[in-house]
Amino acid sequence: MTAIIIFVGFVVFLFWLSYFIGKKTKTESGFFVAGGQIHWFINGIALTGGYLSAASFLGICGMIAFKGFDGFLYSIGFLSGWVVALFVVAEPMRRLGKYTFADALESRFKSRTIHLAAGISTLVISMCYLVPQMVGAGVLIEPLLGIPYHWGVILVGLVVIVIVASARMSSTTYVQFIKAGMLITFSSLLVGAVLMRGVDTMPENVNVRGEFADRPLLRTMPFDIEKMMDENFYEAGFDIVESFGEWVLVQEHSADNKSWWKLETGSGNDISFLRETQNITRTSKGDFFVNGAPADRDNILYAMGRISQFGERTGHSGTKGPVGPLRFLSILADPGTLFEIPVISTVNHQDSEVTLFYHKTVPGNVMMRPGGHFNITGRSRWGRLNFISLMLALFFGTAALPHVLIRYYTVKDATAARRSTVVAIGSIGLFYILTLFLGLGAVANGVLNPLSDNMSAPLLARSFGEVLFAIVTALAFATVLGTVSGLIVAASGAVSNDLMDKFFRRKMVGTTKVIAAKTTAITVGILSVILGILFRGVNVGFLVGLAFAVAASANFPAIIMVLFWKHTTSKGIIASILVGTFTSMGIILMGPEMFEIYGYSKADAWIPLGQPAIIAMPLSFITLIVVSLITKKVEKTGEPLSPLANV
Amino acid sequence: MNERSNSGKVVADEAVLFKQRLGIVLCVIYAFAYTGFVVISVYDVTLMDTVMPFGLNLAAFYGLGLIVFALFLAMIYSIACTTKEISVARNSKKTEDGGLK
């Protein structure tokens, strides 16, 4: 109940803030860029608020908890992208157009078609970024209010549409300023609490809502290869009901309860130990059972994850107690430290589909190094390419995101824009460092929901009490609101400025343009709600990474070349944006990760590469150069936007 | 390169040029550091297990270092640009004063 009261209070506060500040500006520039009168420090923190999306808070923490250091790669990449944004793009872009990326291009080229291309890319990137925010919202609201996932997504969609359509950029700037400040403050408090508690091998038993659950941790038992399998189980208190492959269905001597166990092999092919699982069974009639009993509000899965052993190198006693931040990381990276990470398998048993959840043991040094998720150590060529491609997308994508660029215009001059970005790098960097501790803290405290990694950080907060959980959940919700509202404003600008006004030449005065923008806001909001429902269960950090890949492929080449290459032509820009957009989207839609989402095997994917930037970004650059060279004789290229282009 | 000109605009352009050159240099420096992290990860990921100061492994040391390094470079950039802008504004004022005499 505490969580619901704080949550509702927060939403009401945001509505009030949007209404109060929104009343002050009535003009078109007020809607889009707050009249350029936002103070640079506030703008810098607001940049942080707009940038720290559900992906950062829910997705990255969850990915770190489940995939270790590979999740932190997103933190490093998301932050590193700001270096490109600040050092190369921020100030020249600020000296240019009015509201959008396309306006900046137009200041060099007077081309209607550029607005069409830029409008399309902005819409596509905004949608790619919006979907994971909606997924995050649904995941968050489901346990908080006890309502189904899709209602959570719809609720967030409605709130954001009302905020954006009724208020202005000015309001979203202040909403994001407050949200970012509170998010960093409470994340720091949560990390402080994790470090004060320390780490041991016996976290509290909780279910996937974070409520106390009276049940032992999932057990492991040694397997005596001198004895038959049924003897091994009998001595442990079980009778074998059935076994096939690596799975054994057993019944306890003392109860009717049946459970599934996994046979784990050691370094040879011999069975070395037995691992207990928990399961969800769906019968052919469509009934669901959790761990043998009918699924209902009280019978849900237990939370998973823990550290089962601490290494000797760091000399950790294995008991709870305060530990410093660097020592915390050192203990967890010890090769002798063993993480227990949730894994899912599905088997068909009789007429039912059984989804089994069990732990996989991962040594600390493997957990705390990059590449495991990409199978780099397995010498996978596509894994390496995916890894490099992701790092490219994160590095170059930030500067090309539409909702980041638009904030360069909300301060009065280029100097203020630069200062804003420095403030943003400082606060975003601090937050991303915290994500490492939050993700690792979640697995060490055994609060992982094996069905959705996105809830790791809020469930970690719940292990410290209802109040902290309530505040963190409300902040995560505000994170979604802030990011979604910023994205919808960017998408609205793209439609009303680039498509309606500049491309279709529907001459609109300020008020009409605002109406067009609000209509777009509602349309984009509804579309993102529908897609958010369809993408349930996918890690939001991964989805946002794809938005970065599209931005790096579609917009980044155009931005860089228009700034620094004097032979760039409008046709080159248009071709580059369209090639980058459609190539990156094509690779994503035909890649292994999306095939898994469609319900097929990754191996069935038409393209073995899931991350598109390594192909789409160079292709976009090449297209721009070739088309510009071909068309430069018939087209006036205009003045390059950077004086360096002429040096 | 713009010293031969005494117009205020060219002096302002000098600041723009300085900031953009500095930005590109700093970006290239950072890109090298970032690339180093990617190269180690791809070609010898076990190197990331190396124990560094404070007991951190190389992955955490390098990863956290990249975040701190970005902030460090951003501050250098900001301070250098502000200093240059003040200097250019001062020169511009002197130029205008000289012109009035």
DSSP 8-state secondary structure symbol assigned to residue A538: S
pLDDT at residue A509 greater than cutoff 80: no
Residue pair B33/B69 in contact (Cβ under 8 Å)? The answer is yes
Q: Name which of B19, B34, B82 is nearest A395 (Cβ-Cβ).
A: B34
SS3 labels along A479-548: HHHHHHHHHHHHHHHHHHHHHHHHHCCCCCCHHHHHHHHHHHHHHHHHHHHHHHHHCCCCCHHHHHHHHH
Task: Search chain A and give the residue with CA nearest B51.
Answer: A330
3-state secondary structure of A258: strand
User: Is some CB atom of chain B closer than 8 A to the CB atom of A411?
Assistant: no
For A331-356, write each residue's pLDDT tens digit: 999 999 999 999 988 888 888 889 99
Q: Residue with structure tokens 């700001």?
A: A82
What are the tokens at A68?
């270790």
Taking residues B46-70, report their average pLDDT.
91
CA distance to partner chain B, nearest, from residue A221 (Å): 30
In this predicted structure, what is the pLDDT of residue B4? 41
A79-93, A116-130, A294-308, A608-622 — which one is most confidently predicted on average? Answer: A608-622
Is B24–A370 a contact, with Cβ atoms under 8 angstroms apart? no
The residue type found at B45 is: V
Q: For chain B, what percentages of helix, strand and coil (3-state, to nearest 5) are there?
A: 85, 0, 10
pLDDT at residue A443 greater than cutoff 90: yes
Among A residues 323-382, those touching chain B with beta carbons less than 8 Å apart:
326-327, 329-330, 333, 335, 365, 368-371, 376-377
What are the tokens at A200?
């041991």
In a mutagenesis test of the A interface, which of B17, B41, B49, B84 is the best target, namely the one with the most A β-carbons within 10 Å?
Answer: B41
Taking residues A562-572, report their average pLDDT.
86
pLDDT at residue A398 greater than cutoff 70: yes
Residue pair B74/A425 in contact (Cβ under 8 Å)? The answer is yes
Residue pair A418/A171 in contact (Cβ under 8 Å)? The answer is no
Q: Name which of B20, B46, B70 is nearest A643 (Cβ-Cβ).
A: B20
What DSSP element (H or E) covers A347?
Answer: strand A338-349
For A445-474, write each residue's pLDDT tens digit: 988 988 888 888 888 998 888 888 888 888
Q: What percent of chain A has pLDDT over 90?
A: 18
pLDDT at residue A507 greater than cutoff 70: no
Taking residues A492-512, report their average pLDDT.
70
CA distance to partner chain A, nearest, from residue B11 (Å): 13
CA distance to partner chain A, nearest, from residue B23 (Å): 4
Among A residues 204-243, those touching chain B with beta carbons less than 8 Å apart:
none
A356 DSSP β-pair partners: A279, A345
Q: What is the spatial distance between Cα A473 and Cα A71, in angstroms, rounded to a whole number? A: 21
CA nearest neighbour of A641 among A553, A541, A573, A584: A573
What ipTM score was computed for the predicted complex, to two decimals?
A: 0.85
Ranking A424-438, A596-610, B5-19 by mean pLDDT, the lowest is: B5-19
Q: Name which of B38, B49, B85 is nearest A415 (Cβ-Cβ).
A: B85
Task: Give the list of residues 6+ apart from residue A385 with CB closer than 8 angstroms, or none.
Answer: A609, A611, A614
Name chain A contacts of B56, Cβ cutoff 8 Å: 326, 329-330, 333
What DSSP element (H or E) covers A619?
Answer: helix A613-631
In this predicted structure, what is the pLDDT of residue A434? 94
Is A83–B73 a contact, with Cβ atoms under 8 angstroms apart? yes
Among A residues 68-127, those touching chain B with beta carbons less than 8 Å apart:
69, 72-73, 75-76, 79-80, 82-84, 86-88, 91-92
Residue pair A402/A124 in contact (Cβ under 8 Å)? The answer is no
User: Is some CB atom of chain B closer than 8 A to the CB atom of A388?
Assistant: yes
Q: What is the spatial distance between Cα A385 and Cα A391, in angstroms, rounded to a whole number? A: 10
Residue pair A332/A440 in contact (Cβ under 8 Å)? The answer is yes
- What letters, b where the CB count within 10 A reaches 16 and e where it falls short, cover A534-563? ebbebbbbbbbbbbbbbbbbbbbbbbbbbb
Q: What is the spatial distance between Cα A619 and Cα A616, in angstroms, rounded to a whole number? A: 5
Higher-scoring residue by pLDDT: A191, A401:
A191
Is B77–A388 a contact, with Cβ atoms under 8 angstroms apart? no
pLDDT at residue A644 greater than cutoff 90: no
The residue type found at A160 is: V
Is A644–B57 a contact, with Cβ atoms under 8 angstroms apart? no
Residues in B lying within 8 Å of A, measured between beta carbons: 1, 13, 16-17, 19-24, 26-27, 30-31, 34, 37-38, 41-42, 45-46, 48-49, 54-57, 59-60, 63-64, 66-68, 70-71, 73-75, 77-78, 81-82, 85
In this predicted structure, what is the pLDDT of residue A314? 79
For the domain bounded by A2-198+378-646, which CATH number is listed?
1.20.1730.10
Residue pair A224/A232 in contact (Cβ under 8 Å)? The answer is yes
Q: Name which of B37, B67, B78 is nearest A419 (Cβ-Cβ).
A: B78
Higher-scoring residue by pLDDT: A23, A245:
A245
Name chain A contacts of B42, Cβ cutoff 8 Å: 371, 376, 384, 387-388
In a mutagenesis test of the A interface, which of B69, B71, B86 is the best target, namely the one with the most A β-carbons within 10 Å?
Answer: B71
Q: What is the spatial distance between Cα A3 and Cα A212, in angstroms, rounded to a whole number? A: 17
- pLDDT category at A195 given cuts 50, 70, 90 is very high
A222 DSSP β-pair partners: A273
Task: Give the list of residues 6+ apart from residue A113 with CB closer than 8 angstroms, or none.
Answer: A503, A570, A574
Task: Give the list of residues 6+ apart from residue B44 with CB closer than 8 angstroms, or none.
Answer: none
The residue type found at A288 is: F
Q: What is the spatial distance between Cα A552 and Cα A134, in angstroms, rounded to a whole number? A: 22
Among A residues 22-51, those touching chain B with beta carbons less than 8 Å apart:
none
Q: Name which of B13, B70, B78 is nearest A79 (Cβ-Cβ).
A: B70
Taking residues A237-257, report their average pLDDT.
81
Taking residues A420-440, report their average pLDDT.
92
Q: What is the spatial distance between Cα A189 and Cα A79, in angstroms, rounded to a whole number? A: 21
Task: Search chain B and give the residue with CA nearest A364.
Answer: B49
Taking residues A187-203, report their average pLDDT.
90
Q: What integer best gives the mean pLDDT of chain B?
A: 82
Higher-scoring residue by pLDDT: A266, A315:
A315
Q: What is the spatial distance between Cα A596 and Cα A283, in angstroms, rounded to a whole number? A: 23
- pLDDT category at B1 given cuts 50, 70, 90 is very low
Name chain B contacts of A326, Cβ cutoff 8 Å: 54-56
